[in-house]
Amino acid sequence: MTKNQILWILPLLFALTIQLATPQIFAQYAGSMATLQNVDATYAVSIIPGAAQRDSLYHYYPPQIAVPTGTTVGWFNNDYGQPHTVTSGKPGANDSGSIFNSGLMPATANSFFQYTFNQDGEFVYHCNIHPWRVALVSAASTLFSGGSFDIKLGSGSIWDISNIPRVLIDFSPKTVPLDGSTPLTFNVTISEDGQTNSQVVSHLFNTYGRSLPLELVSSNTNETSVYGPDFSSTGAYHIESDFKKGTSYPISVEIVSMNGQPVDIPIKASFELKTS
Ligand SMILES: [Cu+2]
């Protein structure tokens, strides 16, 4: 193989191989991660190892998510040896499977199903084989449009932590061409209102010519952790922290570099996320 051929084939291999990262909490339930081709999903839900067993803590993990309308969710069957389904509606309902239905997801590696939530609403789904197992995707199209960003919230205007302890936020720059290839680096800073040492986290995230999907996860953790992306070029990142009810979190976002170069004109925005 000539040097030119190698140079040509390397980016191709990279583009064809979409790998899942292994976030800490997620990995606890997800088991081994799949390698897939041609995935454009943002958010990964795992059918966890042992999901077929009645006493398994979870079947789908996370069991409840809140995403901006337009998000593509991908489900993996990581319960090797057991087939499962992802079927919209309540078990036994007349409209069961009418919105989405994976059919039988085989018990093999790379067993994957994806669906794009283009309507607002609460989408209950279940497994046809283990119909006592129900989970939820909540989709909302709440938009903060300020500064140089459109910011879409999966929770509606207030994040009700006791209802769903996680919310996906989409940060979409208005003045940057989202071409699916230009490397973009976002800096996101989250503070907590009324605290002396108010900064929760400040972190850099990379995408390739795409908006930034970033999920906030509330848990009883002492340390804030950042993980992701769920998929190498299109996936969501996650910030897990002790996010509290009845609080306000000022969030600011800025694109700090494009194509590896500093940005001349500031591309930024900020808003307050209220919780209940
Ligand atoms: Cu199942």
Tell me, in angstroms, the distance from the centre of ligand 1 to residue 31's CA: 16
Position 194 scores a pLDDT of 76
Phi-psi region of 30 (alpha: psi -120 to 50; beta: other; left: phi over 0): alpha
Q: Exposure of 149 by Cβ count < 10 A (0-12 exposed, 13-18 middle, 19+ buried)? A: buried
| Bridge partners (DSSP) listed for residue 253 | 188, 269
Tell me, in angstroms, the distance from the centre of ligand 1 to residue 27's CA: 19
Tell me, in angstroms, the distance from the centre of ligand 1 to residue 69's CA: 26
Cα 258–Cα 172–Cα 177 angle in degrees, nearest 5: 50
Structural tokens at position 80:
């090797």
How far apart are alpha carbons 202 and 213 in whole angstroms? 16
Tell me, in angstroms, the distance from the centre of ligand 1 to residue 113's CA: 14
The fold of the 142-276 domain, in CATH, is Immunoglobulin-like (2.60.40)
Position 15 scores a pLDDT of 34
Q: What is the pLDDT of residues 174-233, one digit of tens each?
A: 999 899 999 999 999 999 987 767 889 999 999 999 999 999 999 999 899 999 998 877
Tell me, in angstroms, the distance from the centre of ligand 1 to residue 273's CA: 35
Residues of the chain with pLDDT under 50: 1-2, 5-35
Tell me, in angstroms, the distance from the centre of ligand 1 to residue 50's CA: 10
Q: Is it true that 19-140 and 142-276 share their CATH fold?
A: yes
What share of the chain in percent tops pLDDT 90? 75
Tell me, in angstroms, the distance from the centre of ligand 1 to residue 149's CA: 40
Tell me, in angstroms, the distance from the centre of ligand 1 to residue 84's CA: 4
Domain limits of the chain?
19-140, 142-276
Position 38 scores a pLDDT of 58
Establish how many alpha carbons lie within 13 A of residue 210's alpha carbon, considering only the half-sphere containing its beta carbon: 22
Q: Class assignment of domain 19-140? A: mainly beta
- Cβ neighbours of residue 179 under 8 Å, at least 6 residues apart? 209
Position 210 scores a pLDDT of 94
Position 198 scores a pLDDT of 86
